[in-house]
Chains A and B, each alone.
Chain A
Amino acid sequence: MKKHTTDMWKIIHIPDKLPIPPNQQPTVNVLASVIDPKHANTLIRRLNQIAPLKNVCHVKRIRKKHLEGGKTQLSVILCLASEDNSLLNSLPQDVQELSDSYQLSPFVTKVCKYAATSKEEWEEQCKLWPTSYHPPTYNIDGITGFSEEDSLSILSFMKVAIELAKSGDGLIVNAAVIVDPSVQQIITNGCDQIFSWHAPMNKTCIRNDCIEQSTNLDSHQSNGVASTVTEVLPNASPSEPESLSCAVSCLNPWKWSEQQSDTANSYYCHPLRHAAIVAIESSADRDRRLFPDLGDAEEKSFETSQSSHVVAMVKRQKTSVANVEKKEADPPNMPSNSVPERPYLCTGCDIYLVWEPCIMCAMALVHQRIRRIFYAFPNPNNGALGSLHRLQGEKSLNHHYAVFRICVPEEALDIAGNRKSC
């Protein structure tokens, strides 16, 4: 790859809500009044008690306006006004009393309904009425920007995903790479497997291969992927590089049913095995393998009543118990110290997808508690992270991930110089 192309690999945060033009932010009406500066403190203290600015905490109570001739004018928000009713006699009783005793003259004005999410929004808000602005301090790294080092590692993982996406013979599919960012290691990966040459009986074999492969990746860090993608569409012939086709499941999840097949039995069809789903399954299998259930070991003690064996069991058990004692309520650890904590789903992990996932995949990633999603190419018709839906902003869900797009030059998908079009 040419050096200059690296500059194009920019990472953009895809926010929870559709960005609105700063000058079109929703507003609410409030009742305000010009006040005598010497009463400001008293009035504000009193108003905060009797009419707190609920739900609009970002709005400042007081506004200072510079008038001509160097004079300043102070205004204060008395209370929220009802949307349909701009009548001044709608003041709550104690606010009314306060207004009367200080001889205020309330007027209706607009303030921005939601806190600003960017500096641009904030500047626009203050034209109506001053608000406070806190640059986002999410607990998910990256939303406020990535360090040079983080960016480089993010880009390298995306490159692994892209290589995986084009590793099928003459076919571009979606690919997913799940990474544990705390140790900068690839945990597992997956490609679209809607059609595969393997019968379901061999499915376990495929998965085992996958596991072996991910183990290699673990031990050799992340320097490239030596993946063999076994699944290809029946009509894509590897011998004809010209017939390159794009079979990204998430781009059109309904397309599977249109697949022409003349050799019904030679491959396995599973319309839901999109790359993200395959990767989730593979990571779960990996966890089960690395952290086998205690039930397994327990069984052995039942099967053999050889005393030596039993004693050995107990000895192992004792170390186990000791470990557990230290860790209190945590799940029991493996005997070896080198084995990491048993993971809870994909908590703390990132996923790299070449294409923005469809809604099924995006929701599966919510269920599996992925922390961050990085994708390279948007999915205009079926994307669930900003294109058609915006699942990261769905407040009712019990888990939210942060979503980033990595702007990747299109040439990245070229296979041996063949220009692709999807």
Chain B
Amino acid sequence: MDSHVEEGCSSETLTFMELAIEQAKDALNSLEVPVGCVIAEDGKVIASGRNRTTETRNGGVIPKKKKKRVDVIWTRIGDCISIKALKTSNLPSLYSWTLIVVGTSLNFLWQATRHAEMEAIDALLEQWQKSGLSVSEVAEKFSACSLYVTCEPCIMCAAALSILGIKEVYYGCANDKFGGCGSILSLHSSSSKLPKSGNIAQRKDFKCTGGIMALEAVSLLRRFYEQGNPNGRGMCWFISITSTLYEDLEAKLSG
């Protein structure tokens, strides 16, 4: 066994957390806050998710594959960058192509609630719906699922996981600002705040273990924030122009 195995952690837990880290890396590559998760049942990963606060999902307005994301960061509006420098090969040679940054902040926050956990949960519910599970079967399934997430679930996600009645949660680093599993609120254990009431459905607690591969999780987050204000980074917009038009535009932009 690997020497990095943390105390009291099974190799299975670490394997799943590594997969969650992979999801977080995927988020980082998409200029999202790098948090990722997987949901496992019977030792198998059945869903995964990563932060998706800036993208459309479910094939919305902008299909993902249509996005031409060029990671030229620190460009400013109006910057002109020669296309050759970007090694973009699939452009028609008829025109000289220039890339003009017409806007930054294109990684625009649409829905700040699309956290990794929510993405994985939605994927799972859709999957179970397709296989025709009844409500009680869905509830039963959730009670057999474990979630591995690189950062402590926020208050919203912790509440959601409790509502679904998930069995257990393993997380990497703590979430000092929003954490719902001990840092700010403790929504995984209801014992502290439980108004007893007659025929109200039972609140569900889940087992929660933190600190799994926390260093890896933190270093990803650090990398993200050290890159600077993510909203200052621009995706670029290609336009095709002839050289005269280009000169015209360039003059406009510099003047």
List chain A positions with a Cβ less than 8 A from chain B: 195, 199-200, 203-204, 252-261, 264-265, 268-272, 277, 280-281, 284-285, 287-289, 292-299, 301-302, 305, 307, 310-311, 313-314, 317-318, 320-322, 324-325, 328-332, 342, 344-345, 358-360, 363-364, 366-369, 380-381, 388-389, 391, 394, 396-398
| Most chain B beta-carbon neighbours within 10 Å: one of A257, A366, A394 | A257
* With A317-B100, A321-B102 already in contact, 19 other A-B pairs whose C-beta atoms are closer than 8 Å: A252-B201, A254-B202, A255-B201, A257-B135, A264-B132, A269-B125, A269-B138, A272-B163, A281-B111, A289-B61, A293-B56, A294-B102, A305-B95, A305-B240, A310-B240, A360-B159, A363-B155, A381-B195, A389-B193
Q: Which residues of A contact B162 (CB under 8 A)?
A: 254
* Contact (Cβ within 8 A) B200 A381: yes
Whole-angstrom distance between the alpha carbons of A223 and B234 in the complex?
Answer: 41
Q: Closest CB of chain A to B30's CB: distance in Å?
A: 13
A367 partner residues in chain B, CB cutoff 8 A: 112-113, 154, 156
Q: Is B4 an interface residue (CB 8 A)?
A: no
What is the chain B residue whose CB lies nearest that of A265? Answer: B132
Q: How far is the CA of A264 from the CA of B238 in the complex (A)?
A: 49
Say whether, besides A358-B159, A396-B177, A318 and B113 are in contact (CB < 8 Å).
Answer: no
Which B residues are CB-close (under 8 A) to A318?
249, 252
> From residue 195 to 237 of chain B, which have CB atoms closer than 8 A to chain A?
195, 197, 200-204, 235, 237
- In this assembly, does B110 line the interface, its C-beta being within 8 Å of a C-beta of chain A? yes
What is the 8 Å Cβ interface bit string for chain B, positions 57-95, against chain A (1 contact, 0 not)? 011111000111100000001100000000000111011
Residue with the greatest number of chain A CB neighbours at <10 A, chosen from B94, B178, B252: B178
Residues in chain A near residue B197, CB distance under 8 A: 381
Are B111 and A284 neighbours in the complex by a CB distance under 8 Å? yes
Knowing A289-B61, A367-B113, the reply to whether A299 touches B68 (Cβ < 8 A) is yes
Residues of B within 8 A of A288 (CB): 56, 60-62, 110
Confirm or deny: B105 has a beta carbon within 8 angstroms of a beta carbon on chain A: yes
In the bound assembly, the distance between CA atoms of A289 and B62 in angstroms comes to 9
- Contact check, B159 vs A359: say whether CB atoms are below 8 A apart: yes
For residue B104, CB closer than 8 A to chain A, the reply is yes
Indicate whether A295 sits within 8 Å of B155 (C-beta atoms), given known contacts A287-B110, A321-B78, A398-B177: no
Asked whether any CB of chain A lies closer than 8 Å to the CB of B5, the reply is no
Pairwise interchain contact B163-A298, C-beta atoms closer than 8 A:
no
Q: Which residue of A lies closest to B114 (CB)?
A: A284
- Chain B binding surface, main DSSP class: loop
1/0 per residue B92-110: CB within 8 Å of A? 1011000010111110111
Q: Residue on B with the closest CB to A347?
A: B109
Complex contact B110–A284 (CB within 8 A): yes
Find out whether the CB atom of A258 lies under 8 angstroms from the CB atom of B201: yes
Q: How far is the CA of A329 from the CA of B111 in the complex (A)?
A: 21
Closest chain-A Cβ to B229's Cβ sits at a distance in Å of: 11
Could you say which of A200, A313, A388 contacts B126, with CB atoms under 8 Å apart? Answer: A200
Selected contact of B129 from candidates A269, A368, A396, CB within 8 Å: A269
Contacts of B104 in A (CB 8 A): 329, 331
With contacts A285-B60, A314-B239, A324-B102 taken as known, whether A345 is within 8 angstroms of B252 at the C-beta atoms is no
Shortest A356–chain B CB gap in Å is: 14
CB of B40 within 8 A of chain A? no
**Which one of B67, B125, B238 contacts A293 once the chains associate, using CB atoms below 8 Å?**
B67
Does B191 have its Cβ within 8 Å of any Cβ on chain A?
A: no
Which of A256, A298, A345 is within 8 Å of B237, CB to CB?
A298
Nearest-Cβ distance from residue B247 to partner chain A, whole angstroms: 12
Query: Which residues of chain B come closer than 8 Å to A311, judged between CB atoms?
Result: 245
- How far is A338 from B170 in the complex, measured between Cα atoms in Å? 49
Residues of B within 8 A of A331 (CB): 103-106, 108
B121 in contact (CB, < 8 A): yes
Q: Is B3 an interface residue (CB 8 A)?
A: no
* A198 CB to nearest B CB, Å: 10
Q: Is the CB of A320 within 8 A of B102?
A: yes
Pair A203/B58 contact, Cβ less than 8 Å: yes
> Please, how many angstroms separate the alpha-carbon atoms of A260 and B201 in the complex?
13
Contact between A321 and B201, CB atoms less than 8 A apart? no
Q: Does B187 contact A (CB under 8 A)?
A: yes
What is the CA–CA distance of A200 and B125 in the complex, to the nearest angstrom? 9
Choose among A257, A268, A287, A342 the residue that contacts B139 (Cβ–Cβ < 8 A): A257
Enumerate chain A residues within 8 angstroms of B177, measured Cβ to Cβ: 396-398
Separation of A368 and B110 alpha carbons in the complex (Å): 9
Some 7 contacts from A to B, beta carbons below 8 A apart, are: A254-B163, A254-B200, A257-B138, A293-B61, A296-B66, A360-B160, A388-B193
Closest 5 A/B residue pairs (Cβ) = A360-B159, A363-B156, A257-B139, A332-B103, A284-B111
Is there contact, CB below 8 Å, between A253 and B253? no
Q: A280 contacts B111, CB within 8 Å?
A: yes
Contacts of B92 in A (CB 8 A): 305
Say if the beta carbon of B31 comes within 8 Å of chain A.
no
CA distance A289 to B61 in the complex (A): 7
Report Cα–Cα, A284/B61, bound state, in Å: 11
Residue of A nearest to B163 (CB): A253
Does B164 have its Cβ within 8 Å of any Cβ on chain A? Answer: yes
- Given the complex of chains A and B, what is the CA–CA distance between A200 and B123 in angstroms? 11
> Does the CB pair B245–A360 fall under 8 Å?
no
The answer to whether B237 and A294 touch across the interface, beta carbons within 8 angstroms, is yes
Q: Measured between C-beta atoms, what is the minimum distance from B183 to chain A in Å? A: 8
The reply to whether B235 and A280 contact each other, CB–CB distance below 8 Å, is: no
Q: Are B77 and A294 in contact (CB under 8 A)?
A: no
Instruction: Using known A-B contacts A289-B61, A329-B77, determine if residue A294 contacts B195 with beta carbons closer than 8 Å.
Output: no
In this assembly, does B144 line the interface, its C-beta being within 8 Å of a C-beta of chain A?
A: no
CA distance A380 to B126 in the complex (A): 32
Q: Give min CB distance, A138 to chain B, whole Å.
A: 22
Assess whether B176 is interfacial by the CB under 8 Å rule: yes
Cα–Cα distance between A385 and B139 once the two chains are bound (Å): 28
Query: By the criterion CB–CB under 8 Å, are A254 and B203 in contact?
Result: yes
**A264→B60 contact, CB < 8 A:** no
Question: Are A368 and B239 in contact, with the CB atoms below 8 A?
Answer: no
